[in-house]
Amino acid sequence: MNEAEIKSLIRLLDDPDREIYSHVHDKLISYGPAAIQYLENAWEQAFDTIQQDRIANLVHEIQFGIVKNELELWQQSGAFDLLRGALIINKYQYPDLDEQKVINQIEEIKRDIWMQMMFEGSPSDQVKLINHVLYNLHGFSGNTTNHQDPQNSYLSQVLESKKGNQISLAIIYSVIAQKLDIPIYGVNLPQHFILAYLDESAKSEFESGVLFYINAFNKGYIFGRRDVDMFLKQLNLNADKHFYEPCSNTNIVRRILRNLISSYEQLGSMEKVQELNELLAVLG
């Protein structure tokens, strides 16, 4: 890395010649993450608003490229780690995210549940215990007053505020459950996102072994297949198999992105909508 060249290029960012600026822009972009610290230092010392704007845009462009690249790698490697996928999307808005802090917060909730698991309870007992710790002790709840706020889709913010939307609360719930070897997975229901308790060894009315469903947005309320039937009927939708069974981690991350696109459309942030659509395209 040529530190002197980066600094020289940054000094040229206020050049009025568009051709020179274009060359400088492309060269700095090519340095990728290595240029960010120098750009941020220059932004603090810059007095020219054009230069400040150009620096800020460059930093964002590089950071967006990092998120896009990480999402591509996550998808190509099999998308096995749901938490990792959600954290990558989190970094779109919070590029300096302390990922370990988020992981530690989730581990702390998991530990609180594990400490109270004194005996091998039934599936419903396990869910009641998770519900008690998550909603009563830690105070999580669905954000019903400002449901369209994009902050509801970023895990770091949900863990701080204890308020989220269906998808973010369901991700926290299922990630913790799976860390405890409790088979709870996301179900991509239209206009709602729910969880399923899966037990392939138990007898149930489902081919896939779903014992029951959980509404993470409504304090872990447990319900059955007939409730899903009724919900789909209200929406005039056919009872397709994929509305009842666990979906892939890729579909869950797609759902986060679609929620964010909808939120930013309502706020009129069309640049963000365009970028988030780019990320959605990465997932196919």
Residue 90 or 237, more confident = 90
**pLDDT-above-70 percentage for the chain:** 96
Tens-place pLDDT, residues 97-126: 999 999 999 999 999 999 988 777 899 999
pLDDT at 203 over 70: no
* Residue-level pLDDT at 49: 79
The residue type found at 284 is G
Domain ranges of the chain: 3-76, 82-282
Both tokens of 114, joined, read 């594990």
* Residue-level pLDDT at 141: 97
Q: Are 197 and 104 in contact (CB under 8 A)?
A: no
> pLDDT class for 27, splitting at 50, 70, 90?
confident
Q: Are 199 and 265 in contact (CB under 8 A)?
A: no
Q: Are 190 and 201 in contact (CB under 8 A)?
A: no
Tens-place pLDDT, residues 120-171: 789 999 999 999 999 999 999 999 999 899 999 999 999 999 999 999 999 9
Q: Give the side-chain half-sphere CA count within 13 A for 114.
A: 12
**pLDDT-above-90 percentage for the chain:** 68
